[in-house]
Chain A
Amino acid sequence: MFKSAIQWFNKFMHSLSFKLSFYAGLLMFLAIIVFSYHSISSQEHSLINKMIQESLKDSEVIKAAIWNGMMTKERDVIRQIVKAIGQQEGFKEINIYDNKGELHYSTKPITTKTMMDLSAEPSMNDLRNDVRLRHRISRDGHSIVVVNPLINTVSCSTSGCHASPDVEKILGILEVKLGLENLNAEVSKNRKQTIIFAVSLFLMISTASGLGVVFFVNPKIRQLQDKAAKMARGEYNPRGRNGGTDEMAELIRSFDRMSIQINQRTNELDASRKLYKSLFEEVPCYLTVVDRDFKIVRANRAFTNEFGDQVGKNCFTGYKNRTEPCENCSVAKTFEDGAVHQSEEIWRLHGRDCYVMVKTSPIFDNRGKVLEVLEMAVDVTLLKRLQLKLERKQFEFKQLFSTVPCYLTVVDRDFNIVTTNDLFERDFGERIGRKCFEAYKNSDHKCDNCPVEKTFIDGATHYSEEIWRRNGEETYIVVYTAPIHNDEGEIVSVMEMSTNITEVKRLQGELAILGETIAGMSHTIKNILSGLQGGVYVLDSGLKTSREDKVRDGWAMVKKNVEKISDLVKGILYASKERTPEYKIYSPIQLLSEVCDLYEVKARNEGISLTRNFAQDVPPCFIDPAGIHSAVSNLVSNAIHACKDLDEDQSHTITVSCFMNSANLVIEVKDDGAGMPENVRDNLFKKFYSTKGSQGTGLGLVITRKVIHEHGGNIRVESELGLGTTFIIEIPAKFEHIQPRLQEAC
């Protein structure tokens, strides 16, 4: 009961009607009080002034009466007049003092000798001199005191009554006291009336405004409250027109308009909510809403159909049959940072693994905090399989690219190498980022007729044969270029597929040599055949005609050509068969002497002198004596051939020299024979090349060179037509140079 009363009181205190009436009344009350106080004060002031003026006038009248009485020496008359005046309403007392302040007469009965109250008159010291008419309010505030000095005029000082000396300015003082009680009572009465008025006005205004609020505002507010409550329940439908022209009516109309708009928005929201709900349900992927405890709050139809009703269960249980949250959980990440996350996961579905792409996005509450997370999962198993297939293919292609046994490089439009395969990197080193022409050819500018450039222009495959430089060696390369397109079909780079054909080129060269060899050999054989055929014919003819000379000639021809065939076959075998050299420590001087001994007689028969020019300091060397013997014999035999059949009157010399040149053993065979033209010099070491016609096999120098090369040495020729020829053999004499060759031979 008491409590409810307090509640009611509190409610009342906080009600709009109370506040409005109380504060309006209070304001009015204060205004009246302030105004009345000011008005009463000024009224009081003016009454006092008026009284003062009147009392001054009265004091002047009394003074005049006193003066006249004094002049006429009618003291009693004076007293009577004063007394009469003093008895009038408002006069409290009238006192007359002398110039020493002693009271001489008072309307009040005087018992003792009374002095003037000097404390009330600050200038009383000046009592004798101050001639001003002055007044004051008594200390108790109940009376006005008028002080009127009685001035010593000429008539006074000269009159005979009780003449005062003329030095005295003032003869005495007239003090008139007027009562203020009536005035104060009046003022007090006014005040009381004003307060009563103000209080009653306050009550009236408060009541009026309170009632106004209660009758005119509160019902409307209640109406608004009802409408708001209805609207909140979604039941409010503003119908008809609300009458009235005041602000409250306008407020209600505004509210109605607002409610119409809110209704519209609500309907729209409802429609979109329904749309989203249907989307949520129908979208062909698994949608779940998960809370902070990883509990599924909602799930769409696709999910429920596939996984059953999992609402209320943990997502990791529902999706993956796990007992604890997944590592690297996207939902947890989204709860943490409020951002969208994505992951690929493997779920168990109908007993098989399926790949799903999971995307999590936050659902915020109105304070911007992540309330729940929407987890969207799409079954990408098929896609994943394709992707795996693609990755496998990519890997295979990469593998193929890396291991293909030719150089593969990819070059961009600026001829920068973008990527290379393993073989290229192995043979040319890391070259990515370098210009292709720089990497391949040590060139500082683009190659002429560049196939890469052509492919960039026409998108077609191009081909070129090039020579690249690698570690200072020339490498023959055949390059095919093919365009690499991007998704838009533009050529972004060009692949260069280069095959090292150095070996092919070498074989090609050997093949050409082989071709020439066979041609040369067939020529030699043709000559021999021709001789044989002739011999056989001549023999046959001799037998038929019984001419013995023809038989002999023919038989000699046949024998000679059979010998030639024998030589040829032996030469071919020597030149082509891998004969194992037999190295031993042997004196080159001794070896060369043996050769010279062998050819001494033959040379002499041809009118040629064979000179030996051997240095004394040539030490025994590690050589294959049989090989060197055959090599030098060949050269000496050639030299004899070059010197014979020339002009008979000129004698020729062949010089065989031997000396050491630093670590090399040098053997020279020099003749002053016919010399060789350039074309002969160029073909010297080819198989079956011979200038001796039917005399040679075209294999001698081939064998010679083979032997010298087996010794790790080299052979060269200096020759001038008509002046002679010198063959120079240089062989490293040291054991170490031969050692590898020995190992090779083994």
Chain B
Amino acid sequence: MAKKILVIDDEPDMVTFLTTLLEDHGYETVTAMDGDEGLSQLRSQKPDLVSLDLLMPNKTGIKMFRELRKDPDLCDTPVIMVTGFGTDDTPNMDFKKWIHERSIKAPEAYIEKPVDKDALLAAIKKIIG
């Protein structure tokens, strides 16, 4: 049975791209356009992995990630953080470090935009097989 991946991104183009990519590689996909929708999809669809955009309207990726980790039913779902902010661009905002400081389990992987297809697929393979 194919593994189910929830793609959360406010950009429809990004959603199209990621779902196409994942489906081409044998994964089943569900999508959400913002954080609130993402959380409800998580609860209803029980995906094996979440690809989460960091900057989104309504509920940012970080807020949603925090809620996800705090929810006992959801906290074990692996998360790949997809972000436009690289450490090279924003030396003053090291997101990885910032998230770590919140004493919650770090995302299982970080992928930066523009998304490196092979790196994303490798990360997914490593986490859910």
Contacts and interface: CB of A to CB of B under 8 A. Distances in A.
Looking at B18, B20, B84, which has the most chain A CB atoms within 10 Å of its CB?
A: B20
Looking at B21, B55, B90, B113, which has the most chain A CB atoms within 10 Å of its CB?
A: B113
B17 interface: yes
Given A526-B84, A530-B115, A537 B13 contact: no
Contact of A560 (B10, B13, B55, B115): B13
A522 B115 contact: no
Contacts of A522: 89
A515 to B, nearest CB: 10
Contacts of B113: 526-527, 530
B24 interface: yes
A537 B17 contact: yes
B114 A537 contact: no
Contacts of B10: 693
Contacts of A537: 17, 20-21, 117
Nearest to A527: B84
B80 to A, nearest CB: 16
A538 B10 CA distance: 18
Contacts of A519: 89-90
A538 B20 contact: yes
Looking at A519, A535, A537, which has the most chain B CB atoms within 10 Å of its CB?
A: A537
Contacts of A541: 20-21, 24
A541 B10 CA distance: 22
Contact of B17 (A527, A557, A694): A557
Contacts, number: 56
Nearest to A541: B20
Interface residues of B, number: 19
B11 A694 contact: yes
Contacts of B90: 519
A645 B13 contact: no
Q: How extensive is the interface on chain A, given as a class?
A: 20 to 34
B87 interface: no
B77 to A, nearest CB: 24
A534 interface: yes
A645 B84 CA distance: 22
A527 B16 CA distance: 15
B14 interface: yes
B89 A550 contact: no
A121 interface: no
Contacts of A218: none
A213 interface: no
Interface in A552-607: 553-554, 557, 560
A529 B21 CA distance: 16
Nearest to A530: B114
Contacts of B20: 537-538, 541-542, 550, 554
Contacts of A523: 84, 89
Contacts of A553: 16
B57 interface: yes
A214 B46 CA distance: 168
B84 A538 contact: no
A693 B56 CA distance: 9
Contacts of A645: 57
Nearest to B56: A693
Contacts of A534: 13-14, 16-18, 115
B11 to A, nearest CB: 6
A527 B11 CA distance: 11
A526 B24 contact: no
A537 B16 CA distance: 10
Contact of A557 (B16, B57, B89): B16
Interface string A674-700: 000000000000000000011000000
A338 interface: no
Looking at B11, B114, B117, which has the most chain A CB atoms within 10 Å of its CB?
A: B114
Given A530-B14, A693-B11, 20 more contacts: A522-B89, A529-B114, A530-B84, A531-B13, A531-B14, A533-B114, A533-B115, A534-B14, A534-B16, A534-B18, A535-B13, A537-B20, A537-B117, A538-B16, A541-B21, A542-B20, A554-B16, A557-B17, A645-B57, A694-B11
Identify the 4 closest CB pairs spanning chains A and B, nearest first: A534-B17, A530-B114, A530-B113, A557-B13
